[in-house]
Chain A
């Protein structure tokens, strides 16, 4: 996989060094064996190898097993409500373009209650990374089917088997216009770390579906280990049709970068559209004199 380095990630000052252990927050509370540990380890690896400044990293989450993620990483964190992780992350990024913003959420959080926000976050191409923890089940509420659970799968809430067809998150992200679309698997931690790193460095909305088995309510380890295969050099991530074919027709479970393209971000477009783009910055730097003049000018319109 190509790992194009950029200066997008906020680095620690020279002379300060952090080990992977230093990036750990409080002790995770997930079930032993949960796939989410793999995601946490992968992210921490990325942070450590890039010496990311934790003060300029914010992790935003919704509700569910993934919701606790921000507390397990030493950074700024926002654990919100069910399904609203992308709007929170969008507001934070627009307000603070200097921050690296990572949104995390499960298949229930992001594809059920929060589904309405996904295509909109994508079409805005806001510069955030969205890690979708996909275990095909509702874990924290003890095993009901999620929007990605296979047809026919029996749970307490689907005693005759799931009746609905699952959502295909990758195809969805692609047709909605995401500029970075990838899939990782929590058991392939090193591969996943590279994916997350590429996603963080991508300028624009990065969508990463991460297959992460739930050992307690729907253990898919064995199945996914057999199905997973890494995309090779023969896949061209700039080829949209190839990416879409992979997302919809591939045998097994391909992992890697499906699609990657550069496009202006929401902030780029807002700045270009605003007449006084010089001052469009957010991050609230007040200038009393300029602001007072601007308000006076605004009031003049009503004279």
Chain B
């Protein structure tokens, strides 16, 4: 059974996948990024996946780029070509090469062959390292030699690779650029001579429609990572204050914001810890400036008390959690969807907050900008649950227009939320109770709006008040805001759920976050096997649009819930929200994302079994 699924996945798989593997420090990531960029420039749609060690130097690392003439859902799955920089890379990654695929590996200087090479793939030794050392006096340039060879084998023009090298190494000087360009050319020539008769790469790319000749120019697209998209989305959504503490895999958000915010009149600071980051973001928010912090799991744990403060004092703020694997410091460079419970429930007392989760790189841009509108409108923290694989994955996307991206964050001030001024006796009723729980929020500087906000339970003025009826009333006010948002989402769920597959299907896939791509691909493959599957990916996790989810589940015989965590956090959350149906959790907790094949295998099992 599993073999049949595998064969089908490979046979029907769209596009082509090249995996570059080696030791950290051998230029694997640079080679992968270059290939990605060059392919995108050549007019192909690309999506990437990488794994790397937590050590600064050393340890195995891998970069995979998948490309096609049409946009792809997921970067994972078997490789058509493996470029291995050393023997360990062959040992670790040759299993991921599809039967009939190609392995290009670095020839040993003594001419010996690596052990245990698979028989059902075409393996060719090319002396990447030797050529680099002999011709360029630097073994480090072997990644460029290997890339040059790949370009030759795929009949890709070298120009785009040269352009990338010129851009990437511009700051390192002319000589570095010319050495790398020369390495590319040597690899290209080498492959022309030595790979003659191989023909596999070109053939593969031909079969899969991935040659570049007929594709469009690709210049209308950019190649961008989830973290970059999220950051740019945040700026477009109005973010003008950013505070963060470095943590993998969220640090590049801090780096991007620090570099870019000043040009937008904003400020970014690196704080002494995560509590300071969120506390200062709340301070900026109080001042009326849309603010954000980004962290990963361990940092979110530290911020939990301040999220409660944001909820209680009704301050908008955006908190990005780029999830990584495991409790404690866990696996900083591995992926997981393990923070749903923390994001939704984390903290003491009842602290209803908004939790959203993008499903793709494009969605990171979209969720990044709309998170500010949500936070501002509902005056509460918004937690954006991203994931390592989304954060680091690069994708080619059409370049949007800046003017179309800009959103009004509605971060308080005169006429905020269209609510009337609650001033009375010179005291402003900052927490005036309303039907939807949303009060007007004057900003410091407004003489008519003087008020004090507090993390203590309080009355409408913000004065501390512990009376039973007051706690009840204010608890309801805070919850009512989320109910208002829930109604808004249910009324038009398109913005906050992603659907795929035919409506009549009896088998369903339900999930959140990055599993979307692999699930969509799995559903498409299942359809080719004659199994109809429909999917629903929920981007608004708190408040959960229960009616929409319920309606989806009710129409199905069985619902598979794939999640990258051990306990099935979404499946349990659905149950806690009263969603009833035949829900089959499908969990993976290896620090790696799902492939379409893995989800397809479960779909097939369920289809046979039910």
Contacts and interface: CB of A to CB of B under 8 A. Distances in A.
Interface of A: 25-26, 53-56, 58, 60, 68, 70-71, 74-81, 83-84, 86-96, 98-99, 116-117, 120, 124, 266-267, 270, 274-277, 279-288, 291-296, 298-300, 302-303
B402 A280 contact: no
Report the 4 A-B pairs with minimum CB-CB distance, sorted nearest first: A91-B283, A91-B280, A295-B402, A77-B452
A294 B263 contact: yes
Nearest to B228: A302
Given A55-B447, A58-B444, A87-B277, 14 more contacts: A54-B450, A68-B464, A71-B463, A76-B286, A79-B454, A81-B279, A84-B306, A87-B275, A91-B287, A95-B284, A116-B273, A295-B405, A298-B260, A302-B223
Contacts of A284: 238, 240, 265-266, 288-290, 411
Contacts of B518: none
Given A55-B450, A95-B288, A302-B224, A280 B267 contact: yes
Interface of B: 219, 221-224, 228, 232, 235-236, 238, 240-241, 243, 260, 262-267, 269, 271-273, 275-277, 279-291, 305-306, 308-309, 313, 399-403, 405-406, 411, 426, 444-447, 449-456, 462-464
B235 A295 contact: yes
B351 to A, nearest CB: 13
23 contacts: A58-B286, A58-B287, A58-B444, A71-B464, A87-B271, A87-B277, A87-B279, A87-B283, A88-B280, A91-B280, A91-B281, A96-B289, A116-B272, A277-B262, A280-B266, A283-B287, A284-B288, A285-B265, A291-B402, A292-B406, A293-B402, A295-B232, A303-B219
Nearest to B447: A55
Nearest to B241: A95
A100 to B, nearest CB: 10
Q: Is the interface of B mostly helix, strand, loop or mixed?
A: mixed
A117 B271 CA distance: 9
Given A96-B444, A120-B272, A91 B243 contact: yes
B273 A292 contact: no
B559 to A, nearest CB: 37
Given A78-B452, A279-B263, A55 B290 contact: no
B241 A91 contact: yes
Residue from A80, A285, A287 having most chain B Cβ neighbours under 10 A? A80
Contacts of A75: 450
Contacts of B260: 298
Given A71-B452, A91-B283, A96-B289, A302 B222 contact: yes
A266 B267 CA distance: 11
Given A117-B272, A299-B222, A95 B283 contact: yes
Residue from B221, B260, B282, B402 having most chain A Cβ neighbours under 10 A? B402
A96 B228 CA distance: 27
A75 B427 CA distance: 10
A94 B269 contact: yes
Contacts of A303: 219, 221-222, 399
Nearest to A123: B272
B450 A282 contact: no
A120 B445 contact: no
A282 B232 contact: no
Contacts of A276: 262-263
Contacts of B454: 71, 78-79
Contacts of A293: 402
A20 B402 CA distance: 51
A76 B288 CA distance: 12
Given A120-B271, A298-B232, A299-B222, A74 B403 contact: no
B538 to A, nearest CB: 29
A293 B263 CA distance: 11
A90 B399 contact: no
Contacts of B236: 291, 295
A254 to B, nearest CB: 30
